[in-house]
Amino acid sequence: MLLTTIAGSLPKPPWLATPEMLWAPWRVPAELLAEAQRDAVLIALKEQEAAGIDVVTDGEQSREHFVHGFLETIDGIDFGKRVTIGIRADRYKAEVPTVTGPIRRPTAVHVDDVRWARAHTDRKLKFTLPGPMTIVDTLADEHYRDRPTLAREFARVLNEEARELEAAGADVIQLDEPAFNVYLDDVTSWGIDAVHRAIDGLRCRTAIHICYGYGIKANIDWKKTLGSEWRQYEETFPLLAASRIDQVSLECANSRVPISLLGLLRGKDVLVGVIDVATHEVESPAEVASTIRRAMEYVPPERLYPCTNCGMVPLPRDVARRKLHALGAGARLVRQELGITSR
Ligand code: ZN
């Protein structure tokens, strides 16, 4: 009970990529990159284990970005044709590749990553993939010219990939869908359907991560415009509660999300963000424990997974490391209070 996990990413070592930025360029020559990424995964696994994280990830060490990392080898996307567009309803600008032809996955993207991580940890392993709506929102499209259609195409290749990742040993496959907090009408009309297509036939646990974004300035400024209570989840959680997804990962620490909204996810595992990724200030174990206790008013401990609010990739490494330890220690405190000795 109260098994800990993380949203997905961890900072990369400074010898691998430029620290503290998104889309950070690699610092290793192409011929050494894959080996360097594998080394970084070992460090990421070790650090999570040392901090007491129960369901670990590869720290997303082999991707330049959580969306584009998956797309690099997908046919139909031209990375030479990059354009700058406003993403997440124009919250910030990003340089994105363009869909110029039919979407096809000629080869597995992350199977070797899962095999490598699986071979080097005994813990449960989660692997993250970008969700269909978020992919569609992080691309230019000159071919399909219709977001629901494009999302269905990506759901198809995500499903092909997810089935192979499951076979390679992933215990949990998570779709990252920050766009679900932006395009609420689309979630209803085609977002959930695309997620269902992406997880179709999987026997492992499936998760969806919906957050208010990385701790970058554009997101922090956006949050200031959302008022005193953030109620976006109020629309999406009932849809997710009725969906076939097993787990929902959400932002909670230091957020203005009313905690009672967690009650809308009855029947699902809830990955409660108890670590704020938008500040370098490190939570104390007592603060983490207090957020877990508040969440326990709405989520039973066997369904509650203390987690980070979002990925930690843009954070300084030592900050992320200390936050991991706070997460592990805070969950331990509450387990002790509840007299839980086994996991
Ligand atoms: Zn996130």
Per residue in 263-282, pLDDT (tens digit) is 999 999 999 999 999 999 99
Within-domain flag for 166? yes
Per the prediction, the chain carries an average pLDDT of 95
- Ligand 1 centre from 82 Cα, in Å? 24
Measured from the Cβ of residue 298, the count of other Cβ atoms closer than 10 Å reads 18
Distance 184 CA to ligand 1 centre (A): 16
Task: Write phi, then psi, for 327 (nearest 5 degrees).
Answer: -60, -50
**Contact yes or no for 96/78 (Cβ under 8 A):** no
Q: What's the CA-to-centroid distance between 9 and ligand 1, angstroms?
A: 9
Domain assignment of residue 343, yes or no: no
| Domain membership of residue 274 as a residue range | 30-337
Nearest to 238 by CA among 205, 220, 213, 263: 263
Residue 342 has pLDDT above 70, yes or no: no
- Distance CA(199)–CA(205), nearest Å, equals 10
Tokens 């020559």: give the residue. 29
- Please say if the pLDDT value at position 185 is more than 70: yes
Asked if 85 and 94 count as a contact pair (C-beta separation under 8 A), the reply is yes
Identify the pLDDT of residue 232: 85
Q: Is residue 12 part of a domain?
A: no
CA 180 / ligand 1 centre spacing (Å): 11
**pLDDT value at 343 more than 70:** no
| 34 belongs to a structural domain | yes
* Cα(112)–Cα(105) distance, integer angstroms: 15
Residue 270 lies in a domain: yes
Residue 8 CA to ligand 1 center (angstroms) comes to: 8
20 domain residue, yes or no: no
Domain for residue 3, yes or no?
no
Split into its structural domains, the chain has a count of 1
* CATH code: domain of residue 67: 3.20.20.210
Q: What's the rounded mean pLDDT across residues 25-30? A: 96
22 within a domain of the structure (yes/no): no
312: CA distance to ligand 1 center in Å?
9
